Amino acid sequence: MLNSSLLQLGAALRARKISSVELTQLYLDRIATLNPELNAYITVNPDMSLAQARTADERITQGDASPLAGIPIAQKDIFCAQGWRTTCGSRMLHNFVSPYDAHVVSQFNSAGAVNLGKTNMDEFAMGSSNETSHFGAVKNPWNRDAVPGGSSGGTAAAVAARLCAAATGTDTGGSIRQPAALCGISGLKPTYGVVSRYGMIAFASSLDQAGPMARSAEDMALLLNAMAGFDERDSTSLQREKEDYARELNKPLNGLRIGLPREFFATGLSADVAQAVDAAITEYKKLGASVVDISLPNSRLSVPVYYVLAPAEASSNLSRFDGVRYGYRAPEYGDLADMYEKSRSQGFGAEVKRRIMIGTYVLSHGYYDAYYLQAQKIRRLIAQDFTEAFQQCDVIMGPTSPTTAFNLGEKGDDPVQMYLSDIYTIAVNLAGLPGMSIPCGFGNNNMPVGLQIIGNYFDEARMLNVAHRYQLATDWHVRTPSGI
Amino acid sequence: MTWEIVIGLEVHTQLSTHSKIFSGASTAFGAEPNTQACAVDLALPGVLPVLNKGAVERAIKFGLATGSAIAPRSVFARKNYFYPDLPKGYQISQFDLPVVGNGQLTIHVPASGKTEAHEKVVRITRAHLEEDAGKSLHEDFHGMTGIDLNRAGTPLLEIVSEPDIRNAAEAVAYAKALHTLVRWIGICDGNMQEGSFRCDANVSVHKPGTPFGTRREIKNLNSFRFLEQAINYEAHWQIETLENGGTIQQATVLFDPDKGETRMMRTKEEAHDYRYFPDPDLLPLEISPQWIEEVRTTLPELPQAKQARYVNELGLSAYDAGILTASREMADFFEATQRVVPKDAKLCANWLIGEVSAQLNRDGLEMAQCPITAQQLGGMLKRIADSTISNAGAKDVFRTMWAEGGDADAIIEAKGLKQVSDAGALEKIVDEIIAANPAQVAEYRGGKEKVFGFFVGLAMKASKGKANPAQMNEILKRKLAG
Amino acid sequence: MSLTLEDVKKVARLARLAMTEQEAQAAHAQLANIFGLIEEMQAVDTSGIAPMSHAQDVTQRLREDKVTEGNQREKFQAIAPQVQAGLYLVPQVIE
């Protein structure tokens, strides 16, 4: 059951081989056993999950054929879910029980899925190792000394450890793809605007995008079908025809042109990762694809640009956390300014405060043009690089992360080293393109390697097809960490 | 050389939408605290703004009414600062690219002191859409302040003038003209007690021919009287300070109506570093020429156009036309009345400006609350015009109508106020008077024309006041001439 | 452009983050490092390039002017740190 695909689980549920309550309980039991060590979940609420499972069972009995009905899905703790504690990995929201549902959550609810719990994450999604969570670091199921990546590290670990059937993530600079790569699972960040951001706690509004994290491309297509779609409550949600992301899964890859950006295979990429990615490209050639050498000359600037734009937006987005209407308020304070300063200083962790400081500085008087405006202009150059590249190829491939999972505490106190671990993923967010990571082998230390697939705008169905054909031909995605 | 005062106004008008600018919560005034603050207004984590079409429409109307440029593309920006009545920690406003650009407003400055009444054009720099903040209630909650966020997110159009205003009287005239206009075009209810229309005044002084002085901004003036008092006090204070060798520091001040003074705000907004940047949650606002044209068709005839028409087509004086267009209600009432008696615009004007206004004033009523309708008033004026009643009779009808309702013809009938216009009956009365007063007739004929009034008096008395005065005069003149 | 310790303190005040002298110094060192990375941008000639604020070149969608939200005060204030008589309480605000 634990290794079944979502389609197989759906079939089993509808055939009454298992009930949603039984399936949910199975996962809850696994969480109870494994989570104390992995720390993949911040909050589980068996009562609420089982109540939803019972409702799902009734729906199934009444003939509901929704593919996700009764399937336990975990939500990254960045999504507001009514009645659920929603912390965003922060002390600031340690006591915040959401009074409303995020669009993504209500989409899963109406599809009949069961909310299995809220997964751990870097605080306010700011991090690449899950070490910034107020609720403690998540352990990588492949090696408990290693990080799972971030910020959707809890989700990645939960999927890898079979602590849920599938789960959601969000990606601002690589937060779906990088942990997917480091935990040996599949993750997709859709085109900006395809999934509503309503109810997803904002980090950097112009870059944030929610997406599925699962064990296969096929599962992700099913999840994306539920998550994607227009939402009038998000001004940046795009009004497009509803599409079936699974429609092209099985299309042969003959004639597929794969662009390989030179810049993604240069210095900084560790040899074991390069080797696994090369092997994957070779496999694609066997599947009928051809390879094109491309260049993304401005992508080297994506880290500096990102560390101006994302903190700038974040510094403003996080101003609402002031201890007035919800969330953490310092137990002792003097006047109003003191209440603000103490609540925010105690409520936010070091990395969040660091980024608020960066963002406040780059927006402040006299620096705006040199930093924020300059970054926005280079952002356009980065996006234009992709537009030109897609004249010559259908998808772009490369490594998701320059290394496999590093050890907890390894990057220590050097934020810059941590920031550089997102070097291959950030440009995609800046351009607003869809990006994906799928497992493509293992590195020296037997840790998973991720292959990044970048598509043109709205090309998610083709990317899922590209991933699915590879997963039909290889078995990296079904490998399971030992002891799981 | 004397000092010149330089004033620019920033007027915040709450737009009369049903729902807020970025959320679906109600904007109705006076609800229980925080019952009209929805998830978006409270800035719960994860919520997002979506722009209200009604707010944009009203901004377009304002732009059209002031001959302003309407930006085909404008941008919403975040103005970042911390304040408990600002839930997001930033206000969504417009900065670089406001929805309304350069325009102007012609104002009538009434005579005061040495200055005669005059017209003046005040240039409008821009008008931009933004959200209002909540309210801080300073009653004592155990030494704490209470925050009500019902008002948070109410749409505002902030209208910024050029520093074209030179004294408090002009500032008031400008504010009043704007107040009239926004109500006229139906974008703001203008209720100043409820804070729907609030002024900030930027005041500086300098010697003509030298650069403008440093300005101080007087915040939140919510009556025309306070606006006038605050500017007068502030300008006087600045001049005195400078003459005593002091300097003016840029500052934000509040006006204390009890003391009649301005004072520095105690909350120092550190160097005003608002860190404006385009709101990533909102996309650029595009306004198509078609949309502007659609809105134009919904725009009523504007006060200035009406004034010109009243003068040129209806033959009213500029003064009367000005009064009749002081409010939309007045003009509408005038025009509806005038439709009943199309040829007698002047009569309509006289009655509205005279009796109707006086009576409203006495009863403390607004035009909108007028107990008689334009149909009723017109019906009565029609009877004056066709000589059915005299002016004196009309006043009687009007009083009855005001107090008890009813239409003019019924009141005239019931009260027997119909004039006698029967030439035979009037001639008979005149003949009798002439016969009974030979001495006065001789005086008149001898050239003492003042005696004419004596005969009129007798004639009216004899007719019990019902004689048509014009007709009676004509008969008297003819018969007295011999 | 180099970030001074004074800048760090000013920014902390603007962002309403309390900071001890020691914390400010530590933050200064780290931020200086990060700005070293960010400064790479300054070498790029971006004249004539329009800033990119949004991933998609689309314009703002408008909502019909309708009231769609009712009173949910009880639910919203259940999670508030301090309320009284329907109001959120904060330390006294002085204007």
Any idea where the domains of chain C sit in the sequence? 5-42
Is the confidence at residue A340, as pLDDT, over 80? yes
Q: Is A357 on the interface with B (CB under 8 A)?
A: no
The continuous run of DSSP H or E covering B125 comes out as strand B118-131
**DSSP-derived pairing of the beta strands B197-206 and B216-221:** antiparallel
- Residues B344, B283: one domain? no
Give the confidence band of B478 by pLDDT, cuts at 50, 70, 90.
Answer: confident
Asked if residue A473 belongs to a domain, the reply is no
How many domains does chain A fold into?
1
Interchain proximity B46–A102, CB inside 8 Å: yes
Is the confidence at residue A23, as pLDDT, over 70? yes
- What's the pLDDT score for residue B390? 82
- What's the pLDDT score for residue C16? 97
Residue A216 annotated among the catalytic residues of the structure: no
Note the pLDDT tens digit of each residue in B298-325. Answer: 999 999 899 999 999 999 998 899 899 9
**Nearest-angstrom CA–CA distance, B338 and B321:** 13
Share of chain C residues as helix, strand and coil, in percent rounded to the nearest 5: 40, 10, 50
Mean pLDDT within A398-413 = 92
Partners of residue B89 in chain A, C-beta under 8 Å: 316, 318-320, 322
**Rg of the Cα atoms in chain A:** 21
Q: Is A102 on the interface with B (CB under 8 A)?
A: yes
- What's the pLDDT score for residue A64? 85
Mean pLDDT within A429-443 = 98
Q: Is B26 on the interface with C (CB under 8 A)?
A: yes
Partners of residue B149 in chain C, C-beta under 8 Å: 88
**Rg of the Cα atoms in chain C:** 22
How many domains does chain B fold into?
3
- Residues B166, B256: one domain? yes
Residue of chain C whose alpha carbon sits nearest to that of B155? C65
Q: Is C57 on the interface with B (CB under 8 A)?
A: no
DSSP code of residue B41: T
Asked if residue B428 belongs to a domain, the reply is yes
CB nearest to B53's CB, from C62, C69, C92: C62
- What's the pLDDT score for residue B461? 84
Provide the CATH number for the domain around residue A16: 3.90.1300.10
Asked if residue A462 belongs to a domain, the reply is no
Asked if residue A373 belongs to a domain, the reply is no
Note the pLDDT tens digit of each residue in B208-261. Answer: 999 999 999 999 999 999 999 999 999 999 999 999 999 999 999 999 999 999
Is the confidence at residue A30, as pLDDT, over 80? yes
Share of chain B residues as helix, strand and coil, in percent rounded to the nearest 5: 40, 20, 40
Last residue of a domain, one of B234, B263, B291: B291
- Residues B162, B276: one domain? yes
Tokens of residue A461, six digits: 């169905």
Mean pLDDT within A57-72 = 94
- What's the pLDDT score for residue A337? 93
Q: Coil, helix or strand for B216?
A: strand
Find the angle CA(A278)-CA(A284)-CA(A288) to the nearest 5 degrees.
145
- Find the domain containing A229 and state its range: 6-248
Minimal CA separation from A360 to chain C, in Å? 6
Interchain proximity C56–A238, CB inside 8 Å: yes
Partners of residue B88 in chain A, C-beta under 8 Å: 319-320
Interchain proximity A377–C55, CB inside 8 Å: no
Note the pLDDT tens digit of each residue in A113-161. Answer: 999 999 999 999 999 999 999 999 999 999 999 999 999 999 999 999 9
**Nearest-angstrom CA–CA distance, A156 and B251:** 54
Residue A196 annotated among the catalytic residues of the structure: no
Residue A76 annotated among the catalytic residues of the structure: yes
- Residues B198, B275: one domain? yes
At what angle are helices B469-480 and B423-436 packed, to 10 degrees?
50
Question: Which pTM was predicted?
Answer: 0.92
**Nearest-angstrom CA–CA distance, B446 and B432:** 20
- In this structure, of A432-436, A458-462, B415-419, the range with the lowest mean pLDDT score is B415-419
Asked if residue B296 belongs to a domain, the reply is no
Residue of chain C whose alpha carbon sits nearest to that of A298? C44
Which of these is catalytic: A98, A133, A175, A315?
A175
- What's the pLDDT score for residue B268? 53
CB nearest to C34's CB, from A307, A345, A381: A307
Is the confidence at residue B113, as pLDDT, over 80? no
**Nearest-angstrom CA–CA distance, B96 and B74:** 8
Asked if residue A110 belongs to a domain, the reply is yes
CB nearest to A326's CB, from C40, C58, C80: C80
User: Residue B260's CB: how many other CB atoms inside 10 A?
Assistant: 12
DSSP code of residue B93: E
Answer with the residue of higher pLDDT: A23 or B477.
A23
- What's the pLDDT score for residue B269? 53
Note the pLDDT tens digit of each residue in B378-392. Answer: 999 999 988 888 888
Interchain proximity C17–A323, CB inside 8 Å: no
- What's the pLDDT score for residue A246? 98
Is the confidence at residue C13, as pLDDT, over 70? yes
Q: Is B149 on the interface with C (CB under 8 A)?
A: yes
Note the pLDDT tens digit of each residue in B95-112. Answer: 999 999 999 999 989 887
Tokens of residue A476, six digits: 């990296």
Task: Decide if B45 contacts A89 (C-beta within 8 A).
Answer: no
**Nearest-angstrom CA–CA distance, A180 and A72:** 19
User: Residue A339's CB: how many other CB atoms inside 10 A?
Assistant: 22
- Find the domain containing B59 and state its range: 4-291
The strand order across the sheet containing B118-131 reads: B103-109, B118-131, B155-161, B4-14, B197-206, B216-221, B251-256, B261-264
- Residues B25, B159: one domain? yes
Q: Which of C14, C60, C64 to mutate to test the interface with B (most CBs of B within 10 A)?
A: C60
Q: Which of C63, C68, C75, C92 to mutate to test the interface with B (most CBs of B within 10 A)?
A: C63
Interchain proximity B82–A96, CB inside 8 Å: no
- In this structure, of A98-112, A180-194, A275-289, B465-479, the range with the lowest mean pLDDT score is B465-479
List chains adjacent to chain B, taking adjacency as at least 3 C-beta pairs closer than 8 Å. A, C
Q: How far is CA A42 from CA A119, A137, B425, in A?
A: 6, 11, 105
Which of these is catalytic: A19, A20, A49, A76?
A76
Last residue of a domain, one of B370, B390, B415: B415
CB nearest to C14's CB, from A238, A333, A360: A360
Interchain proximity B45–A320, CB inside 8 Å: yes
How many Å separate Cα B322 from the centre of its chain?
Answer: 11
- What's the pLDDT score for residue B267? 55
Asked if residue A292 belongs to a domain, the reply is no
Provide the CATH number for the domain around residue B430: 1.10.10.410
- Residues B462, B407: one domain? no
Minimal CA separation from C17 to chain B, in Å? 12
- What's the pLDDT score for residue C94? 75
Interchain proximity A381–C46, CB inside 8 Å: yes
Q: Is C90 on the interface with B (CB under 8 A)?
A: yes
